[in-house]
Amino acid sequence: MKDNHDNPDNDAPEYDGPSKSQLKREMHALQDLGRRMLDLGKDQLETLPISDSLRAAIEESRRIRQNEARRRHLQYIGKIIRQEDDPEALKKAIDAFDAGSEEHTRRHHLAERWRDRMIAEGDSVVGEFFSYCPGADMQHLRNLARNARKDVEKQKNTGQSRKLFRYLRECIDDAEAV
């Protein structure tokens, strides 16, 4: 009779799912995401694609002052985030608000490129941008681009280029938040 240790099929351990340590790391990451959400302003929070229960938990957490109660509530927020449709998309949306994140930098550079093209190439680029961000107000965008071009031609700085950039960034954020 053969011993089970000699059977080559028993050499491969069965996969029981992620380890306890891995689950703990994932939960801490979700709690950190929740902590970052608490740092967002009310208007920024409204733009995030989150459930009403998560929104209510975040509002509740802002009223909690005791450290231990706050820690437990963050665990609860992490649990709710785990149940959200797409926690990774939520992380990406929060990263867009973080000035040091790659997503924020990417959107910033994208808005700069669109602004520079609109100033250099004219209204034809406005149409291209409108196809990229269909929610943009085309007339307002044309006026901003025209005013920024006038500033460049007159070699003046009345802030029109900055206004154009801000509007472009707002449109890009709105288009990519969906």
pLDDT at 95: 77
Residue 127: helix, strand or coil by DSSP? Answer: helix
pLDDT interval class at 112 (50, 70, 90): very high
Give pLDDT tens digits for 65-93. 898 998 899 999 988 988 888 888 888 87
Q: Are 49 and 93 in contact (CB under 8 A)?
A: yes
143-158 burial string, b = 16+ CB within 10 Å, else e?
ebbbebbebeeeeeee
Residue 178 has pLDDT above 60, yes or no: no
Residue 69: helix, strand or coil by DSSP? Answer: helix
Sketch the domain layout of the chain as residue ranges.
18-88, 102-177
For the ranges 110-114, 133-137, 152-156, the maximum mean pLDDT occurs at 110-114
Residue 9 has pLDDT above 70, yes or no: no
Q: Are 71 and 28 in contact (CB under 8 A)?
A: no
Mean pLDDT of 82-108: 79
Residue with the bigger pLDDT between 137 and 102: it is 137
Find out if CATH 1.10.60.30 is the number for domain 18-88: yes
Mean pLDDT of 17-42: 85
pLDDT at 144: 92
Query: Would you say the CATH fold of 102-177 matches that of 18-88?
Result: yes
Two structure tokens written together for 64: 């909690």
Two structure tokens written together for 178: 């969906």
Domain 102-177 classification at class level: mainly alpha
Between CA 163 and CA 144 the distance in angstroms is 7
Tokens 């924020």 label which residue? 104
Average pLDDT, the chain: 83
Between CA 69 and CA 61 the distance in angstroms is 9
Q: Are 25 and 82 in contact (CB under 8 A)?
A: no
pLDDT at 87: 80
Two structure tokens written together for 105: 């930098």
Between CA 54 and CA 92 the distance in angstroms is 17
pLDDT interval class at 173 (50, 70, 90): confident
Residue with the bigger pLDDT between 58 and 9: it is 58
Between CA 29 and CA 35 the distance in angstroms is 10
